Amino acid sequence: MAVESYIDDILYSPVYVFDEIISKIIAKNLTFAEIELKRCPLEVDSTLFESIKSILKDLKDEEGLFSRFLYATFGVEIRKNKRREQLIYLGSELKTQHSKIQLNLRTIQRYEDNLSYSLKDLERLKDAFLKRNMFFEDDKVKNKSKFFMSEIESKISSVEESLTALDMKYNNLVEVEKLYRQLFVQIPRYHELREETHLLLLSPARK
């Protein structure tokens, strides 16, 4: 059933009915988006990046091409190298941070999708009031309709602002994620790296 068919019922009901409708349309989508926007954005861990780049350079300087090929292809080490062990742990930290960034990207995308649905519903409701408004003859009902449209426009403005801010945060985070991915794939046998929490479980308990 078209939204327009409910406009009269809304207008002839107490104001709280309208408020409840707006609340259901927005749900907690706007609140979640605003909380996300207040969170500090995830940034590149420059210390970690520089440490990994330094070790990669040292390994390249210390080991020959054949030695690096054997390890990268088969996981075979001609001789043990402590730098490689350091790289495994730092790479695991890199993977942990990368996973957090990817999770944050999915979260922001979900918030954007939910807000977009809310925006469409608010716009449909506003259009329904606008179409029905021209047929009202009672000034009191007209004024109430205009007040409701004003409230809807205010919510639309808030949702649009949050959507724009979320989109900017998402795009900035995409660039950060690219930097992590580019460095991550430079680590030999990066596909075998486990996240930091897994390594902690494997480490012997401290006495």
Q: Give the model confidence (pLDDT) of 123-169 as tens digits.
A: 999 999 988 887 777 888 889 999 999 999 999 999 999 999 999 99
Per-domain residue ranges of the chain: 4-42+92-200
- With residues binned 3-state (H G I as helix, E B as strand, rest as coil), the percentages for the chain, rounded to 5, are 80, 0, 20
Read off the amino acid at residue 38: K
Give phi and psi for 63, each to the nearest 5: -115, 145
Q: Which of 6-15, 56-65, 117-126, 136-145 tops mean pLDDT?
A: 117-126
Higher-confidence residue of 199 and 75: namely 75
| Averaged pLDDT, 199-206 | 44
| Averaged pLDDT, 188-197 | 81
pLDDT of the residue at 19: 96
Q: What band does 204 get if pLDDT is binned at 50, 70 and 90?
A: very low
Q: What percent of the chain has pLDDT over 90?
A: 67
Whole-number Å distance between alpha carbons of 53 and 59? 10
Q: Report the chain's mean pLDDT, rounded to a whole number.
A: 88
Distances (CA, A) of 7 to 120, 140, 142: 17, 15, 12
Q: What band does 203 get if pLDDT is binned at 50, 70 and 90?
A: very low
For 35-71, the DSSP string reads HHHHSPPP---HHHHHHHHHHHHHHHHHS-HHHHHHH
Kindly tell me if the per-residue pLDDT of 207 is higher than 60: no
pLDDT of the residue at 196: 65
CA dihedral 195, 199, 202, 206 (to 10 degrees): -140
pLDDT of the residue at 125: 95
Per-residue pLDDT of 157-179, as tens digits, reads: 999 999 999 999 999 999 999 99
| Cβ-contact 86, 187 below 8 angstroms | no
Per-residue pLDDT of 61-103, as tens digits, reads: 878 776 777 767 766 576 777 888 899 999 999 999 999 999 9
116: Cβ contacts below 8 Å, ≥ 6 apart: 163
pLDDT of the residue at 76: 58
**End-to-end CA distance of the chain, in Å?**
69
**Residue 177, CA atoms < 13 Å, CB-side half-sphere:** 14
Q: What band does 30 get if pLDDT is binned at 50, 70 and 90?
A: very high
